[in-house]
Amino acid sequence: MTLSELQNLIRDTFGAKDGRRGTAGTFMWFAEEVGELAAALRGNLPRAQTAAEFADVLAWLATLANIAGVDLEDAIRAKYGSGCPECHHIPCACGAAEKP
């Protein structure tokens, strides 16, 4: 599944509900899911449960992008399509202390 397909699936499945909740409410759900992912990564959860938390975070990110009118596939391609957004190398040649 591509990012565009994911974004469309989330829009088709939850779009009306997401639109009513709005950006602020949706961001709170997204943040909660990130917290659940953090707990899964810290804990000794089965791999399938950790994978499900990754899926939840990605789905809520797609929801936020839908509400904001951002095409995730275009955004990723624009920022990371040429490699590291800072040094433009693949793999990144930035120093270890630097972001990314």
Task: Of 12, 6, 5, give the one whose Cα is nearest residue 59.
Answer: 6
The domain 3-69 having CATH identifier 3.30.200.210: the answer here is no
Model pLDDT, residue 99? 72
Q: Which pTM was predicted?
A: 0.89
What tokens appear for 72 in the block? Answer: 């995730």
Write down the domain spans for the chain. 3-69
Give per-residue pLDDT as tens, 21-68. Answer: 999 999 999 999 999 999 999 998 899 999 999 999 999 999 999 999
For residue 91, is the peptide bond before it cis, meaning its omega torsion is within 30 degrees of 0? yes
Where does the pLDDT of residue 100 fall: very low under 50, low under 70, confident under 90, or very high at 90 and above?
low
